[in-house]
Structure 1
Amino acid sequence: MKITFKIWRQKNSDSKGTLKTYDVDGLTEDMSFLEALDHLNEQLVLKNEEVIAYEYDCREGICGQCGVFINGRAHGPHDHMTTCQLHMRSFKDGDTIVVEPWRAKSFPIIKDLIVDRSAFDRIIEEGAYISSKTGTAPESNAIPIPKAKADKAMDAAACIGCGACVATCKNSSAALFTSAKINHLNSLPQGKAEEHERVEAMTWQMKEEGFGSCTFTGACEVECPEAISITNIAEMNARKLKAKLLG
C-alpha cells in the first residue's frame, strides 16, 4: 500500500509552517494511522532527516493526546473515533492524506503536529474536582444516586480532553469541554456543595484563556470522539445564570 502524505511541518510557535509531501510505501491496511506515521519516521531516520513530531500515549482512544486534522476533519473520516483508533483500511492505495495540527489561538503549535493544550489544564484547575475532605473512598453504595443522574454524569465524564471540539468550532470555543467537566461533578451529590463556585470559576478561566463563544452550530458534538452532547453547554449556561442570581 502506497500513500502520499502531506504533513504540516513547523519548527516552533514562532516560525512559519508548511505542508511537506512524503511518498510512503510498504504500508498495510491493518496498520493503525499512528503506525503509518511511525513507519514514515523510520524512513526519515534512515535518510538522516528530522522526524515528524506528533503526540500520543495510550493508543486506545482514552488519553486524548493524538488529535490531528486528517483531510480536513478532526481525527479522520469516521464518527466517534480518535486518531489512534483509525486504521489504514479506511484509505485506498494511492490516496493523498493531508495531516495538520489543531488550529486555535489557545492551542499554540509546539512543533509540527503537537499543540499546547495546557489551557484545558488551567480550566480544570479552577474547579473540576471536589475539594471537601472525605477521608478514604466511601463504599460505592453509601450514597444512593438515581440511575438517570449517574448515567448523565458518566456521559459527561467520558470527555477525554482531546480538543477536537475547539479545533472544529468556527469560534474555537471550549464550551463543550468545559461544560462536560462541570456537569460531570455538578450532577452528583458529592459535587453539589461547590456547584455555583465551580461553574463561575471554570467559565471565567475559559474566557481568560481566549477561547471563543459558543454559537450552538453543533459541530463540536459531531466531531467529538466520545459524542458528548451539546445539551451539556445549555445546562452549563443555565447553571451559570443560576449561580449569578443566587450570588
Structure 2
Amino acid sequence: MKAEPEVQRRLLDLQAIDTALAQLAHRRRTLPERAELEALARELSALEDDRVRAQVAVDDLDRDIARLEKDIDQVRARKTKDEDRLAAGTGPARELEALQHELVSLNRRQGDLEDAELELMEQRETAQGVLDGIEAKLADARERRAAAERRRDDKLADIAKEEDFKKSARRPLVADLPADLVTLYDRIREDSGLGAALLTAGRCGGCRLDLSGADLARIRKTAQDEVVRCEECRRIMVRTNESGL
C-alpha cells in the first residue's frame, strides 16, 4: 500500500485522537464511583436485610404485648364483675367466699401478666432502638449513594463532552485520508489498540522493540510513499528524520 509521507504522518494525529478516546473509555469503565456504588449497593442490601429482621422483631413483640393487654383486660373485667357481686353481698356465704378466693387469684394473675407485659415492653424498647439505628444507617448510606451517583454522572458528562470533541476532530481527519489506509489502520488498531506508531532511532513505537539490521536495511530501500509495518507487532511504522534510517 502506498501513501505520501505527509499522509502517513497524519496517521499519527489520528492515532493520538484514538488513544485519547480509548483513555476516555477506560476512565468511564474505571470511575472510582462505580466501585463505590457497587460497595454501597452491597451495604444497602445487607442493611435492608437487617432492617427487615429488626422490624419483624418489633412486630412480634407488638403482637405479644397486644395479646397480653387483651388478657389483662379480660382479667380486669372478670375482677370488676366479681367485685360487684361481692359488694352486693347476695348469694350463699360459700359462693361469696369462693368469689374472694377468685379475686385473690385474679389479682395474682393480673400482676403476673402486667410483669410479663412490662418485660416485653422493655424488650420492645430495645428492639425499637436497634431498628432506629439500622434505619439511620440506611438513611446515611442512601445519602452517600446519591452523592456518589451525582459525582459519577458529573464525571460521565465531562467524559462525554471530551469524547464529542475528539470525535468531531476525528471525522474530518478520517475523511481527508485515503480510505484504504484508514481501513488498514482501523483493522490493526481494533486488534491491538494501536494502529500506527513512530519509527524512532530504529525502534518501533508500537511494540517498543529495536529493529534488526536486516529490517532497517529493508526499510531504507523502501520508497518513502510505501506504507511499512513492523515485523513483530504488524503496526504501521511512520518514518521521519528521527527514524534512524
Q: What is the TM-score normalised by the length of structure 2?
A: 0.18
Structure with max Cα Rg = 2
Counting helix residues as a fraction of each chain, which structure ranks higher? 2
The two structures have a TM-score, normalised by structure 1, of 0.18
Higher relative contact order at CA 8 Å, sep ≥6: structure 1 or structure 2? 2
